[in-house]
Amino acid sequence: MARHQTHRLLGTAALVAVTALFATGCGSGFDEGDGGGGGGGGGGTETPSGELSLLIGSSGDAETQAVEEAVAAWSEESGVGATVQVANDLPQQLSQGFAAGSPPDLFYLSTDALAGYAANGSLAAYGDQLSNKDDFYPSLVENFTYDGEFYCAPKDFSTLALVINSDMWSEAGLTDDDLPTTWEELTDVAKQLTTDDHVGLAFGAEYQRVGVFMAQAGGGLIEDGAAVADSDANVAGLQYVKDRLGDGSFAFASDIGTGWGGEAFGTGAAAMVVEGNWITGAMTNDYPDVKYTVAPLPAGPAGEGTLQFTNCWGLAADSGNQEAALDLVEYLTSTEQQLAFSEAFGPMPSIQSAAADWQEANPELAAFLDGAESAQFPPNIEGAADIITDFNAQLEGLRDADPATILQSVQGNLEAALG
């Protein structure tokens, strides 16, 4: 199956109306192995024989608690023990676990890491064996399909939107009529919101945030199987960000003493942030007194654009607990449990059967779901994780760098990976 990273997500209504066209793939079957689980927890931590080990990357206490409670409930119901480890550096710990021969049984796996682990035989392709396989959005199934096989269940998905501090907005004399719909309007309100105490707009110094401006300019990283990173549109998107960093109305979260956009927003260091719907869990748990509004990202020269993210529940090929792992994945991706996760920390369910309930429960978050119609997928080709890591390292210096030079480097890396 061809995998093009600039495919647009279908609108939710349309997705609900279609079947999972991409849920093909043969599946690899499950070994009837004896003995304990993959152990490890990603870094070599031993797990008692017969138990499942899970390694997750968490957005905060809300997500950690929700996953731990769900796994504990499944364990009580199934009689199978399971331990959850929260990674400090998920890619590194997962890599170390595989290298040591003791990976976790189940783990969060990003789209940009799928191809590498699938190509070297580290993953079990279990997607086609899920009883709820046809309930996943087809576009999310495509994200986790490699060489025609549906490898793993998308656990949820998110898009990026504009999150606005309601009090700071009012204090600046702005109203609902001032919600920005274009880059020009975003520039104006960001300048009005910038004070000695906080910046107008902040976001992470990474493609996973800055990439929205590339998309809004009409760019992307891969189109029809070819690298397009050095396009004029991408240069325009990065130049817009560079200009705003220069005038002080935009800032990277790290430049204002915070670790990510949610912290910048919650602590009042930024009046607006570009973030995903996972921010809702952080706001509820860590910054409950901050009032905010979620608005669509403004359109750029080429129109609306955002990024869409998803992780799947990866399963180690060497796990001795694959039957139990499959049952746990079905439990964690059920309608009831995905809606519970959404309430706890904000992601949108990856299954179509939960769409109506999610919309009814979260009308104030409509901008996130609406953004799916203009969302791009980050690359999921082999080597994508390293390419994006290098890109992000260069973006940290964007304020003083040449956007075209950065993108030429990314172009070369993508072309090499695509062969």
Q: pLDDT tens across 235-292, in order? A: 999 999 999 999 999 999 999 999 999 999 999 999 999 999 889 888 998 999 999 9
Mean pLDDT of the chain: 88
What pairing do the DSSP bridges indicate for beta strands 270-276 and 199-203? parallel
CATH fold match for the domains 12-158+309-372 and 159-307+378-418:
yes
Count helices and strands in the chain by DSSP H and E runs: 17, 14
Phi, psi of 244 (to 5 degrees): -75, -35
The closest alpha carbon to 312, from 61, 73, 142, belongs to: 142
- Residue 122 pLDDT exceeds 70: yes
| 8 A C-beta contact, residue 232 and residue 184 | no
Q: pLDDT tens across 317-366, in order? A: 999 999 999 999 999 999 999 999 999 988 899 998 998 899 899 999 99
| 8 A C-beta contact, residue 84 and residue 54 | yes
| 8 A C-beta contact, residue 380 and residue 114 | yes
Using the structure block, give the residue that is written with the tokens 């792992």: 325
Q: pLDDT tens across 11-48, in order? A: 333 333 323 222 222 322 223 233 333 333 333 334 33
Q: Break the chain into its structural domains and give their ranges.
A: 12-158+309-372, 159-307+378-418
| 8 A C-beta contact, residue 404 and residue 398 | no
CATH 3.30.70.1050 fits 12-158+309-372, yes or no: no
What 8-state DSSP symbol labels residue 147? T
What 8-state DSSP symbol labels residue 354? G
Rounded distance, CA 38 to CA 47, Å?
Answer: 8
Structure tokens at 74: 């499944």
Rounded distance, CA 21 to CA 267, Å?
Answer: 44
Phi, psi of 278 (to 5 degrees): -65, -15
Mean pLDDT, rounded, for 181-204: 98
CATH class for the region spanning 159-307+378-418: alpha beta
Torsional sign, CA 263, 269, 271, 273: negative
pTM exceeding the 0.75 threshold for the entire prediction: yes
